[in-house]
Structure formats: structure tokens, C-alpha cells
Amino acid sequence: MQTNQTGTPVVLLYHRIGRPKLASLVAGQYVAPWLFRSGLDYLTAKGWCGARLAGIAARLCDGDKFAVTFDDGYLSVYEHAFPAMVERNMTGTVYVVSGAIGGINEWDRRAGDTREPMMTAAQAREMADAGFEIGSHTVNHPHLTLIPDDQLEQEIVDSKRALEDIIGKEVISFSYPYGDLDERVTQAVIAAGYKYAVVTKLGVPASGGAFEIPRVNVRWNAIGPLLMRKIRRAKRASGIRN
């Protein structure tokens, strides 16, 4: 059993920042801008410090560390989360669906969800220039375990190249759409040259390897103590007791 002597890193997962759209199939994934800001301030007030996912293992403060990640690359992340984090001198990681840049969430729409605008290439570049990490979330957001090898490679390799062209930096981090992965998918991600990958499974990075980094999915109601309770649950899920 591991202990929590030097601070346990936690990777938070957000999707959409904004007032919940009740018609959405994932209404709980909208975090109001003020709640997003209060979540950052709450953890900071508790002695936690924000870190980049790439540097989560570095000992930046004596307390616990948290990294903020966003899946999909919604415009609302650029509009609300980006300025809030810059204001607090924090950076995060955005996993962008490269084929949806400047468009809408076609994959959600096909499943009957509400329409959401995605950030543009210029906005992704601006975030990268400000120190945010841009990671890949494939080209089209498919279930990777269900597609043939050639398509799998396209989704993983083409998105990396497209994003690198946009931001002018290497893209080394990957997020599996729907948290859908198996051995074949992970091997393809490693072969494409990524250095680590995040999943949607609840937990903290202490468990799993570099290509299965668990996260804490932050939903609309994860306010203060509720957020802390979920983080504690993630630690327990990874075998950490405190």
C-alpha cells in the first residue's frame, strides 16, 4: 500500500465550461465558469499547487499537485478556462480532436447530443504559445477498439501531425476517446511517438503506466468538499489511503 508522503498528483478532467444545457445528453459535464474558477481557488487554498501534466512528477510544492486537462477542445475552454488559468498563473493540457477544429462536436451530434462549437486553430496556437500543452484526441473521436488497423493509425498519427503543424511544437500526449482502449490501441499510440496517454478511469497517476494515466472527471456539482471527496475516491481506487 502506497502512502501520501510527498504529495499525490491528481489529474483533473474537464469537458465543457459553461452553464449546463439541460437538453444535453451529458448535462453534468458542463462546469459553470465561476465553479471552474472556484475549484482552482479551493485546491490552491488547501495548499495544492497546479502543475502541467508533463511535469506532474516534479516536486513543485510540498503539498499535493493537480494537473488540469480538458478533453475534446471546446470553444468554451478557450473562452472561460484559459483566461481563468492564465490569471492564476496556471497552465493545463487540452486534448484536441484535430478534425473538428473550428467546427462542431460532430461525434456527439451523431449520438443525439447538443451542438457545441470547437476552438479554432488560432485559439489552440494561442494557448500553446501561452504554455498550455496541446495533446491529441484523434482526428474524428471514434471508438478506437472498434476500427481496423489502418484507420486506427490514421486517427493517431494524422491528428499528431495536424496539431504539430498548428502549434509548431511536438505533440507527445494522447487522450483515448471515450476512454476506449486495449493492447492494440495502446501499442499504436506508443508506435506513433507519444510519450504518455490519459484515460477516463477514476484514479491517480500512482497507478497504471504512462499510457494509462487515470483522471478525476470533474462534473458540474464538484464544488469544494465534493471535489475533494471525489479526489479521495480516486486515491482509494489507486490504492492510496489518506
| Contact set with Zn ion (CB under 5 A) | 71-72, 177
Smallest separation (angstroms) from Zn ion to the CB of 159: 12
Q: Which three cell numbers stand for residue 199?
A: 484515460
Smallest separation (angstroms) from Zn ion to the CB of 144: 11
Residues 6+ positions from 213 with CB-CB distance below 8 Å: 11, 53, 196, 197, 198, 199, 205
- Our CB check for Zn ion shows the closer of 72 and 212 to be 72
CA separation, residue 33 to residues 36, 89, 132, 240 (Å)? 5, 17, 18, 31
- Our CB check for Zn ion shows the closer of 35 and 118 to be 118
Separation between Cα atoms, residue 144 and residue 162, nearest integer Å: 18
Closest residue to Zn ion, based on beta-carbon distance: 71
- Our CB check for Zn ion shows the closer of 106 and 164 to be 106
Smallest separation (angstroms) from Zn ion to the CB of 35: 20
The residue with cell 501531425 is 161
Smallest separation (angstroms) from Zn ion to the CB of 136: 11
Beta bridge partners of 51: 67
Smallest separation (angstroms) from Zn ion to the CB of 29: 10
- Our CB check for Zn ion shows the closer of 72 and 116 to be 72
* 3-state SS, one letter per residue, for 8-39: CCEEEEECEECCCCCCCCCHHHEECHHHHHHH
Q: Do 74 and 10 contact (CB within 8 A), yes or no?
A: no
- Our CB check for Zn ion shows the closer of 71 and 116 to be 71
Smallest separation (angstroms) from Zn ion to the CB of 141: 6
Separation between Cα atoms, residue 175 and residue 95, nearest integer Å: 6
- Our CB check for Zn ion shows the closer of 39 and 177 to be 177
